[in-house]
Amino acid sequence: MRISGEPLPGAVILFDGKTKTMKDWHHRDGSPATWPVSDGVVTVGRGDILSNEVFRDAYIHLEFRVPNMPEAKGQAKGNSGVYVQGRYEIQVLDSYGYARPGKGDCGAIYDQFAPLVNACLPPGEWQTYDIIFRAARVNEAGKVIEPARLTVLQNGIVIHNNVIVKGPTGGALDHDVGAPGPLLLQDHGNPVQYRNIWLVHLPLEGSPYYDPR
Ligand code: MG
């Protein structure tokens, strides 16, 4: 398991801050992503953005920083979100210091699973998500035979251990869970920042290989 920020060999770079625009991303209406990029960092702007890259099973790494909004409360305090395949939101929020985070707090799979522990750093500090995603399996009739699963580490700490999601979370792009999907970053009206976003496509089957050496 690699939890430092360096992209793994073979990683698809979704945003490395070396470009002045979010050239590999677009808005929900298909227009080019307009979120501002500066000093290797992108700040949430108007409208959600989606990666052009789509994936099934994947290992995803990204870094985020929530603003310090001491007057704000609850869901208005540094809200954004990372939607895996555009369907399953891992919440981004300032939930620093809460003894028992809930299903709406940072790291939650929104309204389905609270993080196992509060792994949040204070607002203004860079944090990491490392996400191991197993996409839903769908049969030829389109019926879900295995829901999607998520393992998530926040700042290197396991906050979800292979949880079986109940389906797409609110605000999902679609419910076509057998289809590949993008990474989606949510505009919830707060200037959350992101950097160093990449993924590794994972094979859909385990390897059966036995080397008879
Ligand atoms: Mg959110």
Distance 72 CA to ligand 1 centre (A): 15
pLDDT band at residue 6 under the 50/70/90 scheme: confident
Task: Give the CATH number, domain containing residue 174.
Answer: 2.60.120.560
User: What protein residues have CB closer than 5 angstroms to ion ligand 1?
Assistant: 79, 81, 188
Q: Please, are residues 50 and 173 in contact by the beta-carbon 8 Å criterion?
A: yes
Flag whether 36 is in a domain. yes
Position 5 confidence tier, pLDDT thresholds 50, 70, 90:
confident
Task: Give the pLDDT score at 4.
Answer: 57
89 part of a folded domain: yes
Give which of 42, 64, 16, 183 is closest to 6, Cα–Cα: 16
Residues 17, 40 contacting (CB under 8 angstroms): yes
Number of structural domains in the chain: 1
Residue 35 lies in a domain: yes
The predicted-structure confidence for 87-109, as pLDDT tens digits, reads as follows 999 999 999 999 999 999 999 99
Residue 69 in any domain: the answer is yes
CA of 39 to the centre of ligand 1 (A): 24
Residues 48-65, mean pLDDT to the nearest whole number: 98
Decide if 61 is inside a domain.
Answer: yes
Q: Does the residue 208 lie in any domain? A: no
In a domain, 187, yes or no: yes
Q: Is residue 7 part of a domain?
A: no
67-84 pLDDT, tens digit each: 999 999 999 999 999 999
Domain that holds residue 152: 12-201
Share of the chain above pLDDT 70, in %: 98
Q: How much is the pLDDT for 19?
A: 87
